[in-house]
């Protein structure tokens, strides 16, 4: 596949208007939607089951006239579309050896490449398909038949290879079976499954169908394109709503509007690199055919460049770590509960008498404190066991200092304030450092002094130091080695910076009283800063983290797609441009991506000895179970690609 498209492959599900048993009319409607697919640079478009004749012809399928007209219509359609660069899959009745089969016909540029018969036929109250059609077992080898002027491969086990994209077909009832043919297709290598369907409408059925397709797409780690019959089918006993869905690894990308009276074309892209990454990681995914008689058919494509997608149909979420709106409360509660449960186990196991946490008045330490409070509550222990230590230094503002004190008071924990100024000044003298030189030594002395205090108080109180650093800081190495980098249990280790803010707000709004909520809301409005450089003459902070390392929302975006799917810099930049359109231009995105790769590689040594902490999502940096990377690996290959991107976009 042409990688100019970043691994995206555009597909469509088409719902034409039909007239029952009127093949000429139906082919014209199909042709119109194929033309629209070409105009939208679709590579493969799928139509409903028996779309050439309509599904509800009933005993008219016994009529030779209907099957002959259907074959003539298919032959005419392939000739009239031979100049159109699109693969289309239509449904038609096909006769062979005095048997009639409910089939999918795969065509492109004037040629039929294969015919796939239905494997499982329904035979209950609404449908009597076995009255009209013959099933075709999956394990029967494919044969060649003559159809619509071509000698065509015919079988349920055809695997189509189009531009290095492998796809297969099943029909309606097939996906409802105990082991759908698509399961075998996926194991044989199919990355996309197309389903031609004609499922009628019943109360609640749509939700079941969507769940069924979503699960099959996820189980097969494949794209699943589903097109079901719509307006024009006979309503003698049943109604067909025109359901069309495009799923990718269980996620719904696009769907049709139900009960529409006009035709519809539902378009989206399959992310083949994403599917490939999922299959590589899933050691239980069987990538060899269980049925060994698949016939692979290469679909010819004229050797020319694919259209470059300047954008894709799918919406790219700029905050991939943030729970989606419909599951927001449930997801936040689950994430917070994972943190609480992890800390509870560690507390019970170690039998410590206190939890010691440094409180800065910033977001990370606030979330860690909230986790401590809810853990102690869950275990039925007194909150006084929590020792909150605020340690103002050279850069501490009155706002963050007071928020730290107010929050500890509102949560009824044991609180202490210990200034680090005198101790740091003494240390500067001990090591011969000029305190007017505000370099990395100046900053790290403060971070390590704070960590020393926390560790020593933990010794005093038979306690455990709870770490506050988050996943984003681990990725960028934005922590002082053996300073705030170190703790005895790090509850935020699986939480990226963008998610920290959401969790604090969720806890504030759902689990706190008014006094604590007021302070938490002010902390949420405070700029992110380590407060290690002196305040200005007005007592305001002068150090802002995102001015140095870049926007966390960009870094979290880069982190997600780098670790979750292993995408290239070019693809991540492409996704970022669409996700952050009108927010960051290409130059800004590439600038901070350069920072991300440089820091991510150079700071691995900190992650190689990071403390224990609970994994929350699919992206984590623990060297014990998630991310194993040499501390001296070179980022040059990634940076070289970034340089090429800059040149290409000048």
Catalytic residue annotation = 49, 118, 172
Nearest partner of 164 among 334, 10, 301, judged by Cα: 301
What does the DSSP assignment read for 575-602?
Answer: HHHHHTTTTS-HHHHHHHHHHHHHHHHH
Give me the residues paired with residue 464 across strands: 355
DSSP code, position 631? T
DSSP code, position 360? -
Give me the residues paired with residue 224 across strands: 193, 247
Listed in order, strand segments (DSSP E) in 210-360 are 223-228, 244-248, 251-255, 264-271, 295-299, 354-358
Which residue in this structure is represented by tokens 């009276």? Answer: 261
The helix/strand/coil state of 4 is: helix
Beta-sheet pairing, 354-358 with 463-467:
parallel
Give me the residues paired with residue 143 across strands: 154
* Contact of 556 with 472, CB cutoff 8 Å: yes
- Which H or E run contains 158? strand 158-162
Interior angle at CA 120, CA 77 and CA 110, nearest 5? 15
Which residue in this structure is represented by tokens 């860690």? Answer: 368
| Integer Cα distance of 103 and 126 in angstroms | 20
* Contact of 89 with 194, CB cutoff 8 Å: yes
Burial 531-569 (b: 16+ CB within 10 A, else e): bbbbbeeeeebebebbeebbbbbbbbbbbbbbbbbebbb
Q: Other CB atoms closer than 10 Å to residue 521's CB: what's the count?
A: 14
* Contact of 623 with 607, CB cutoff 8 Å: yes
Q: Given CA atoms 393, 394, 400, 401 in this order, what sign does their dihedral have?
A: positive
Residue 280 makes CB contacts below 8 A (sequence gap 6+) with none
Alpha carbon 40 to its chain's center: 25
Nearest partner of 561 among 367, 209, 318, judged by Cα: 318
Q: Burial-class residue 141 by CB neighbours within 10 Å (0-12, 13-18, 19+).
A: exposed
Alpha carbon 575 to its chain's center: 12
The helix/strand/coil state of 387 is: strand
């Amino acid at each position: 596949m042409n990688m100019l498209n970043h691994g995206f492959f555009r597909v469509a599900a088409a719902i034409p208007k039909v007239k029952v048993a009127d093949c000429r009319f139906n082919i014209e409607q199909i042709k119109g939607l194929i033309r629209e697919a070409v105009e939208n640079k679709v590579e493969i478009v799928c139509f409903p089951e028996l779309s050439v004749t309509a599904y509800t012809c009933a005993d008219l399928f016994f009529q030779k006239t209907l099957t002959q007209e259907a074959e003539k219509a298919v032959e005419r359609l392939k000739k009239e579309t031979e100049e159109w660069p699109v693969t289309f899959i239509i449904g038609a009745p096909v006769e062979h050896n005095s048997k009639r089969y409910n089939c999918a016909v795969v065509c492109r540029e004037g040629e039929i490449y294969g015919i796939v018969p239905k494997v499982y036929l329904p035979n209950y109250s609404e449908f009597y398909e076995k009255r009209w059609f013959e099933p075709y077992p999956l394990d029967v080898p494919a044969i060649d038949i003559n159809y619509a002027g071509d000698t065509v491969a015919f079988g349920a086990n055809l695997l189509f290879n189009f531009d290095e994209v492998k796809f297969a077909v099943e029909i309606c009832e097939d996906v409802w079976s105990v082991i759908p043919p698509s399961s075998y297709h996926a194991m044989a290598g199919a990355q996309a499954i197309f389903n031609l369907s004609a499922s009628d409408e019943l109360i609640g059925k749509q939700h079941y169908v969507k769940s069924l397709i979503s699960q099959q797409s996820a189980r097969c780690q494949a794209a699943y394109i589903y097109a079901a019959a719509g307006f024009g089918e006979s309503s003698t006993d049943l109604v067909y709503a025109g359901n069309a869905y495009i799923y990718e690894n269980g996620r719904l990308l696009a769907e049709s509007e139900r009960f529409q009276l006009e035709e519809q074309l539902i378009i989206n892209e399959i992310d083949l690199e994403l599917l490939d990454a999922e299959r590589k990681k899933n050691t239980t995914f069987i990538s060899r055919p269980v049925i060994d008689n698949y016939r692979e058919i290469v679909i010819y494509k004229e050797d020319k460049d694919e259209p470059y997608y300047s954008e894709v149909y799918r919406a790219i979420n700029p905050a991939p770590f943030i729970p989606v709106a419909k599951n927001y409360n449930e997801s936040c509660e689950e994430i917070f509960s994972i943190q609480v449960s992890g800390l509870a186990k560690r507390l019970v196991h170690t039998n410590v008498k206190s939890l010691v946490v440094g409180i800065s008045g910033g977001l990370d330490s606030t979330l860690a404190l909230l986790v401590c409070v809810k853990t102690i509550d869950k275990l039925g222990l007194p909150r006084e066991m929590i020792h909150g230590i605020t340690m103002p230094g050279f850069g501490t503002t009155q706002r963050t200092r007071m928020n730290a004190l107010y929050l500890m008071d509102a949560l009824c924990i044991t609180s202490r304030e210990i200034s680090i100024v005198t101790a740091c000044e003494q240390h500067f003298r001990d090591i011969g450092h000029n305190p007017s030189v505000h370099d990395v030594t100046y900053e790290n002395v403060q971070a390590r002094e704070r960590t020393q205090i926390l560790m020593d108080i933990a010794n005093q109180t038979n306690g455990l130091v709870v770490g506050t650093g988050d996943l984003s800081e681990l990725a960028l190495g934005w922590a002082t080695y053996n300073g705030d980098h170190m703790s005895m249990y790090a509850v935020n280790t699986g939480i990226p910076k963008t998610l920290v803010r959401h969790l604090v707000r969720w806890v504030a709004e759902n689990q706190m009283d008014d006094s604590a909520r007021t302070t938490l809301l002010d902390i949420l409005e405070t700029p992110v800063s380590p407060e290690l450089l002196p305040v200005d003459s007005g007592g305001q902070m002068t150090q802002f983290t995102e001015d140095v390392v870049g926007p966390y929302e960009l870094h979290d975006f880069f982190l997600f797609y780098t670790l979750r799917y292993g995408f290239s810099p070019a693809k991540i930049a492409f996704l970022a441009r669409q996700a952050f359109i009108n927010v960051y231009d290409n130059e800004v995105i590439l600038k901070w991506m350069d920072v991300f790769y440089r820091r991510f590689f150079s700071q691995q040594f900190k992650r190689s000895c990071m403390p224990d902490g609970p994994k929350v999502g699919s992206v984590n940096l623990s060297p014990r179970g998630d991310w194993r990377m040499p501390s001296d690996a070179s980022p040059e290959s990634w940076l070289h690609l970034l340089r090429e991107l800059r040149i290409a976009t000048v």
